Structure 1
Amino acid sequence: MIRCLAIDDERVALDIIEEYVNRIDNLALVARINDPVEAINFLKGNKIDLIFLDIQMPQLSGIEMLETFAELPPVILTTAFHEYSLKGYEFNVVDYLLKPIAFSRFLKSIRKYENMLSERQTSSGFLEVKSDKRVHKISLKDLYYIESLGNYVIFHLSNKQLISYVSLNQLTQSLPSYFLRIHRSYIINKQYIISYNQENIEIKNKYLPIGRSYKDVIEKINF
C-alpha cells in the first residue's frame, strides 16, 4: 500500500485529492494537512511514501518546504499557476499537476510514480508485488516468467505463483535487460531458457509461444 500525505491550504483541493486517492486500490491517504509547518512536524514522526504538495501556501510555500528538507519522500506538486512548474522540477519531483486536477491526469501521475518505484526496486535486484492484500518482496533471480491474465499478471517464481493487478507493458519498461517480452502475454527471464526455436521458448517445463510481432527476440538470446 502506498501511504500518501496531502498538503494544501484549501479544503476543496484536499477533498479532491482524498476522493482521487480513494478511487485507487493501492493508495491510502494517511493524513490531509492545511498547514505546511504542521506537515513538517508530521513528517518527522510518520512514514510516508508519496506527498501531494501545494506550491502556494501561507507561512511556507511548497517550494520553500522542499528547500527545507535535505530529503523528502517523492513529491507530486499541485498548483493553479503555470509559472511554478519549472521551479518545481529543479527538485526532481515526480510530477506537476495543474488545478483544477482531472482524475485522468491524476492517474497518469500515479502511474509515473509507480514506474519510478519499479525502476528503483529492479535496479536492486528485487521487485515489490502486491498480491492477496499483501506486499511481497521477490528476488528477480527467482522469477522465471510473467504471464498476462486480463487486467492481472501471474508471476511464476521458483517456489510459488503470485497474481497481481499490474500491466505487462508497465513491467516491460522497468525490468532489467535479461527479461524479454516474447509475446503480448509473456515476459521471460532469459537466464532460465532451456531450449527454443522460431515458434516457442521452453522455460520451467513450459513451452511459451513467441508472438509474430516478437520474432526478433531470438537475436537477444545467448546461452
Structure 2
Amino acid sequence: MNKIKCIIVDDEPLAISLLEHYVEKTPFLELVFSTENPILALEYIQNNGSDLIFLDIQMPELSGINFMKIIGSRQKYILTTAYSEFALEGYEHNIVDYLLKPISFERFQKSAIKAQERFSLQNKESRHFFVKSSGQQHRIHFNEIIYIESIKDYVNIRTIHEEYIVLDTLKSMESQLPEGFIRIHKSFIINLDKIKSIGVKRVMLSDLEVPIGDSYRANLLDKLK
C-alpha cells in the first residue's frame, strides 16, 4: 500500500510540532501539509490530494466539526482535542479515531495503525465511487475508467461507456483511486489495465491516445515491470 498522505490542522503550534514529529516517525504516513489556520487547510484540500486529516475540534475561526461538514466524507479524520465531551459528536462523522490531548506516541501509533487498516480494507473492498455530474450522483466502477483528464477547475472522467464532467481536481481524484491507476502527465491519470501500447510520447488506451509527460515516463515504465 502507498503511504497515507496526512494533513495536520490545529491552532496550537506546539500540538502541530508534536504531531509532525509523530508522523515523521511512522513509516506508512506522509505529511503533506500542516497549518494553524483551518481556512488554509480547506484551500489546500481543494487543490491537492490527501487521505487523512489530524484535526483539532476547537479552533477559533472554524470548528473541527464544521470543517468536516464542509469537506465531507472524501477525507478520513483522526480528531485531536483536550475536551473529551466532543467525542460522541465527532463520531457522527467519518472518523477513524479520537485522540485526547496530551497525546502520547503510543496512543498516536494505535490510531495510525487503525487508519492503515481502514485504508487497506477500503482498497481491497472498493469497486466503485460516486461523483456529481450534470446535477446527479453517478456510480462509477473503477474497472470501467479509461482515464481522468484535468480541465481547468473540472475533471473529465472517461469510462468505457461515457464521460462525466466533475467539479474537482486531479489531485483529489488521485487520492480516491485504488492501486492500478497512475498519473502519466500533469493533466492525465490512466487505468493501467486499459493500456494497449506505449510509444515515446503517447500511451494508447483502447482507441484513445493520451500524452506522457517527460517527468512521469520513468515511473510509468517502473509500474509496468
TM-score computed with the length of structure 2 as normaliser: 0.54
Following the alignment from structure 1 to structure 2, what is the Cα–Cα distance between the partners of residues 59 and 124? 35
Identity %: 44
The one-character-per-residue Cα deviations of 1:158-182 (angstroms, maximum 9, x if unpaired) are: xxxxxxxxxxxxxxxxxxxxxxxxx
**Greater radius of gyration (CA):** 1
- Residue in 2 aligned with 1:38? 40
Q: AA paired with 1:116?
A: R
Q: Quick check: 1:113 aligned with 2:147?
A: no
Unaligned runs of 5+ in 1: 126-135, 139-223
CA contact (8 A) 2:73 2:94 kept: no
- Residue in 2 aligned with 1:55? 57
Tell me by how many angstroms 1:70 deviates.
3.3
Following the alignment from structure 1 to structure 2, what is the Cα–Cα distance between the partners of residues 137 and 41? 26
CA root-mean-square deviation: 1.7
State the structure with bigger RCO (CA 8 A, min sep 6), 1 or 2. 2
Residue aligned with 2:74, SS: coil
The one-character-per-residue Cα deviations of 1:183-211 (angstroms, maximum 9, x if unpaired) are: xxxxxxxxxxxxxxxxxxxxxxxxxxxxx
Following the alignment from structure 1 to structure 2, what is the Cα–Cα distance between the partners of residues 70 and 124? 18
Tell me by how many angstroms 1:86 deviates.
0.4
Unaligned runs of 5+ in 2: 128-177, 181-225
- Residue in 2 aligned with 1:88? 90
Residue aligned with 1:70, SS: helix
- Residue in 1 aligned with 2:168? none
- Pairwise mapping of residues 139-158 of structure 1 onto structure 2 (< 5 A)? none
Aligned length: 128
- Residue in 1 aligned with 2:28? 26
The one-character-per-residue Cα deviations of 1:79-112 (angstroms, maximum 9, x if unpaired) are: 0001000010000300000000011110000111
The one-character-per-residue Cα deviations of 1:15-67 (angstroms, maximum 9, x if unpaired) are: 01000001011211111110111111111001001110000001110011111
Q: AA paired with 1:11?
A: P
TM-score computed with the length of structure 1 as normaliser: 0.55
CA contact (8 A) 2:4 2:116 kept: no
- Pairwise mapping of residues 197-212 of structure 1 onto structure 2 (< 5 A)? none
Following the alignment from structure 2 to structure 1, what is the Cα–Cα distance between the partners of residues 61 and 17? 22
